[in-house]
A and B are shown apart, each in its own frame.
Chain A
Amino acid sequence: MFRDRFANALLVVLVVLSTVVSAVQFTPELFEQLAGAKNKVPNIPIPDYERYVLPNGMVVYVAEDKRLPIVEVKGYVKYGLLNERSEIAGISNFMLDLMNSATKNRDEIALAEEKELHGVSIVFGVKPDYYEISASALSEDLEALLDILADELRNPQFRGDNFARKKQEHLQSFAHAKTQEQNLARMYFYRALYGEDHPYSFLYNYDLLLKTVSALTPEQVEDFHKQTITPNRIVLVIVGDFERETVRNVVERYFGDWEPTAPADITPPRVTNRPPYGEILVVDRPTSTQAYLMMGHDLFDHRFEGRIAFLMANRVYGSGMFNCRLMKVLRTQKGYVYGVSAGMQNHEVAGEYFITTSVRYDAIADTIKTVVEEMRAIKDGERPITEEELFEVVNLYNAQFPDAYRDTISILDSVAFNAEIRGRNPNYVNEFIQAYNSLTADVVNQVFSEHAHPDRLFAVIVGLKDKIVEDLERNGYKNYRVVSSGR
């Protein structure tokens, strides 16, 4: 009995020992040994594609991809918000919404039903420099897809029963946006950045949109459509399981006899506004249990040659990932925020640089201070971006870039966008990869130092004004102005 118990106990010990001996020992050294890798500089394979221009000026990119029985379309209509003037601000979104709702050949319900029967989806979007098109279907519905897309682009119905209803919807959405913290922040930020008269500020200027959209007439929208949606400003990218020749025939059938209705180019309005550098605007929003913060300043347009260096520097400063400097301080060290990120947009005639976060009331001033100090530490060379930090960003890009371009439509879309909208080389995606791989920390620091301006940062803070002001005052910030959300 005893021997048995002893033998059992010995067995248990042996099993435990054997487990310990054979189990992996997790140590810092093990992890260091498993890490450390320099990823290969990727090359994005440009697919075999065809580019042709219809006699009416419409540019078409086509590539076959027979891996799945699908067809995908991306597209651009040049000039986007730049088409607008302050008297008709908001007309782009309104027009595109109507275009995607009914045509002269298909009323609202007929159009909706036909799309559903064929599994056709079409989405239009408004961007500062272009309108976006995104559409898809199974390849067996290729013809239906292009038929409906062409009908929506060419023959929209602006005089239907839905005009008044759609207008009411848009007005309601603007009124609602004025109750929401991010929308409020964007409204005051972009108005301050670009000025009330420049189209780049229109998208979020809900006060203005409430006035202008309510005054729009079907005639105005029809006229705007003729001036903006014209084949000589359109680029279509079509990828999928088909024969190129088939697509060419279908495209010519539905788009070939469409005559241009406006010149191919416009002269975009310049930005002349001077932002309120260094100021803080407090927007009162009752019931907020936190403050939403948006800071930023103006930046260069998309042609600026230091853009890629600035982009890399910004990844180190505020990519929003856990390893960026702002996240390390504001989330990991101080526990103030759930997320914080800095972003840049470079448009046709201007650009913007902005930092956004949500933060509890007693940490607002310290968050602003940290955003400024971390930017200044790079700019002034106190804590410049190191080669190691730059390597980490480049290494990440090298690893993840192929994932962003894993499908043919993403690659061909990039080719068309860069060539037709931005005037770059069709192979720009690979030039971009080479460019960020050739950067040094010195170059990155120099560009960031020249173009990031902590002293110019202006801020919009949305939340309970009393709590925001209390924290600003307690921390010595006097350069603020309070406005009501204007509900």
Chain B
Amino acid sequence: MRKWSLLTVLFFSLVLAFSINLPTPEYVHRVLPNGLQVFIFEDRTVPLVKVQVWYKVGSIDETEGKTGAAHLLEHTMFNGTHALEKGKIDELITSVGGECNAGTYYDYTVYYEIVPSAKLELALAIEADRMRNLKIDPEDFYRELEVVKQERRQSVENNFIMSGWEELQGKAFRGTPLGHHIIGWMEDLESMTHDYIKSFYEMFYAPNNAIVSIAGDVDPQEALELVEKYFGEYEPARIERPEYTQAKIEGETILRLPRLTGVALMLQLYQVPEGNHEDIAAIEALLDIWLNSESSRVNRELYYNRGLILACGGFTTTLRIPGYVLVYAFAYGEEDLDQIKEAMDEELEKIAKEGVSPEELEKVKKSKLKQLVFALKDIRELADEVVLGALRYGDPLFYKKYIENVSKLTEEDIQRVARQYFLTKNRYVGYVVPKD
């Protein structure tokens, strides 16, 4: 048996910032010589284990004309290896009472199995095999491509929100990694080849570009030995990423986006820094005060007082590269959108000039604390936060820093980010309106 030392990390002194006593979850973190990172979260609540393999590759790593490659590869990963014929991965996992699936995002792709804890080795063996031994049979590949095209029709083209958002984002970030949605453009999917997907796989699917996360009813030492057994001999690969250019959005551009809908929708896209930037906590708090909370500034004025909107909100897309904020408001009709936009800007200006009340800030902190405490109900939710911090920023404790940033927020922070990122009005605005 190889000798190794466990790095046991104590988690969650962060709640001290909110002066509330919580249990302290622990996890094990280790890096194999080939660069593969391993996180193990022991939780004996139920006799199951969740195995995840996270790859640091997503739609931002695609090149022009090849959009959708990361997601299409994710589908292809279920078509088998030289040892696992098509359909066998699902068959094996379901045969033990497990379930498996995968997901692709802008900056990562993740595969997972939830299996009885006695079957941890099966899940790890499957993931290890398809990390380096994927078989891409052309016939299976092009059939799966049809499935992905159907997924695009279903989830994007026939959804007025998603298709409006996609068009707006495509124009705002044209020529940059964020210039397309994760599923890719239909014309690029039409021309995708199995050879290209194979080269994409060979470039990015390597131990030094991946993290194995194991959460559940496991002995950490035994789990680590299994990871070493199945992944330890793989060689690291040289990962070449495309250059991440950044869009230069100056001034305001308004696009009219007719869709089949019975409501009007305004979307606004703003640029924000990388997800580990210290301003992100303040930006998210601003969004809550300005838009998201039931008693937000915009809700008070446009929903309760003037009855102009049906709903409003805003959220960050925080990534390992600079991301964006999407602000939205649902309205009764197109004719209201201009005045809604103007009124939302006015509310923002008031925040920037006059600041926010201590009570508004307190509500934000209360909401974040509640989210944090409820996340502790399932260790797998926390595990994702830890692993994403490691994958994106090389910092498993990033989540803790974020909470600390929230606890330290001041009214001045909110004013500052309002001025710096939003009041400049360097933005793309989309009016998704009912089609004639």
Contacts and interface: CB of A to CB of B under 8 A. Distances in A.
Nearest to A397: B97
A179 interface: yes
Given A31-B92, A34-B121, A68-B373, A285 B260 contact: yes
Nearest to A111: B294
Interface stretch (A84-92, A334-342, A371-379): A334-342
A248 interface: no
B3 interface: no
Given A37-B116, A168-B332, A176 B150 contact: no
B157 A172 contact: no
Contact of A406 (B148, B160, B295, B378): B378
Contact of B373 (A34, A138, A172, A359): A138
Interface in B361-399: 362-363, 366-367, 369-370, 373-374, 376-378
Contacts of A396: 94, 97-99
A288 B373 contact: no
Interface residues of A, number: 77
A6 interface: no
A396 B115 CA distance: 9
A35 interface: yes
Contact of A289 (B22, B151, B158, B263): B158
B229 interface: yes
Nearest to B98: A399
A358 B150 contact: yes
B129 A26 contact: yes
Interface stretch (A113-121, A270-278, A343-351, A444-452): A113-121
Contacts of B83: 26-28, 30-31
Interface in A156-187: 162, 165, 168-169, 172-173, 175-181
Contacts of B154: 290, 338, 358
Contact of A68 (B22, B96, B116, B230): B22
A137 B48 contact: no
A484 interface: no
Interface stretch (B139-147, B164-172, B245-253): B139-147
Contacts of B239: none
Q: Find the residue from B229, B262, B362 having the highest chain A CB count within 10 A.
A: B262
A27 B45 CA distance: 33
Interface string B11-49: 000000000111100000000000000000000011110
Given A24-B233, A176-B261, A399 B366 contact: no
Contacts of B95: 35-37, 392, 395
Contacts, number: 212
A116 B262 contact: no
Contacts of B82: 26
Interface string A415-454: 0000000000000000000000000000000000000000
A178 B262 contact: yes
A24 B150 contact: no
B90 A323 contact: yes
Given A175-B262, A289-B158, A400-B99, A69 B366 contact: no
B162 interface: no
B15 to A, nearest CB: 10
A400 B114 contact: yes
B282 interface: no
Contacts of A399: 48, 96-98, 115-116
B122 A31 contact: yes
B376 A68 contact: yes
Contacts of B118: 37
B126 A68 contact: no
Contacts of A35: 92, 95-96, 119, 122
Contacts of B48: 399-400, 402-403
Nearest to A404: B46
A37 to B, nearest CB: 5
Interface string B315-336: 0000000000000000010000
Contacts of A338: 147-148, 150-151, 154-155
A360 interface: yes
Nearest to A322: B90
Q: Find the residue from B126, B148, B260 having the highest chain A CB count within 10 A.
A: B260
A279 interface: no
A26 B135 CA distance: 13
A118 B363 CA distance: 8
B244 interface: no
Given A138-B369, A168-B307, A289-B158, A335 B143 contact: yes
Nearest to B258: A287
B344 interface: no
A321 B363 contact: no
Contacts of A115: 294
A387 interface: no
A455 interface: no
Nearest to B235: A19
A112 B295 contact: yes
Contacts of B342: none
A136 interface: yes
Interface in B39-98: 45-48, 78, 81-88, 90-92, 94-98
B262 A321 contact: no
A401 to B, nearest CB: 9
B409 interface: no
Contacts of A109: 295, 300, 304
B380 to A, nearest CB: 10
A406 B46 CA distance: 7
Nearest to B87: A332
B377 A392 contact: no
Nearest to A331: B147
A395 B153 CA distance: 35
A112 B260 CA distance: 33
A23 interface: yes
Contacts of B176: none
Contacts of A292: 158
Nearest to B307: A165
Interface in B339-373: 359, 362-363, 366-367, 369-370, 373
A439 to B, nearest CB: 16
B295 A116 contact: yes
B147 A37 contact: no
B194 to A, nearest CB: 14
Interface string B202-238: 0000000000000000000000000001100100000
Interface string B277-315: 000000000000000011100011000100100100000
Contacts of B310: 169, 172-173
Given A331-B147, A338-B154, A396-B99, A287 B366 contact: no
Nearest to B18: A138
Contacts of B45: 406
Nearest to A24: B230
A290 B84 contact: no
Contacts of A70: 373-374, 377
A287 B260 contact: yes
Given A26-B81, A119-B366, A169-B310, A398 B97 contact: yes
B150 A337 contact: yes
Nearest to A165: B307
B235 to A, nearest CB: 8
A34 B125 contact: yes
A457 B91 CA distance: 30
Q: Find the residue from A34, A138, A288, A487 having the highest chain B CB count within 10 A.
A: A34
A118 B233 contact: no
A257 interface: no
24 contacts: A23-B233, A24-B233, A30-B125, A34-B119, A39-B116, A69-B20, A119-B366, A119-B370, A172-B310, A175-B262, A176-B262, A179-B160, A285-B260, A287-B259, A288-B260, A289-B153, A323-B90, A323-B91, A335-B146, A360-B149, A399-B97, A402-B46, A403-B46, A403-B48
Given A112-B299, A403-B46, 4 more contacts: A37-B95, A109-B304, A180-B160, A358-B153
Q: Which 4 residue pairs across A and B have the least CB separation, nearest first?
A: A176-B262, A399-B97, A112-B294, A335-B143
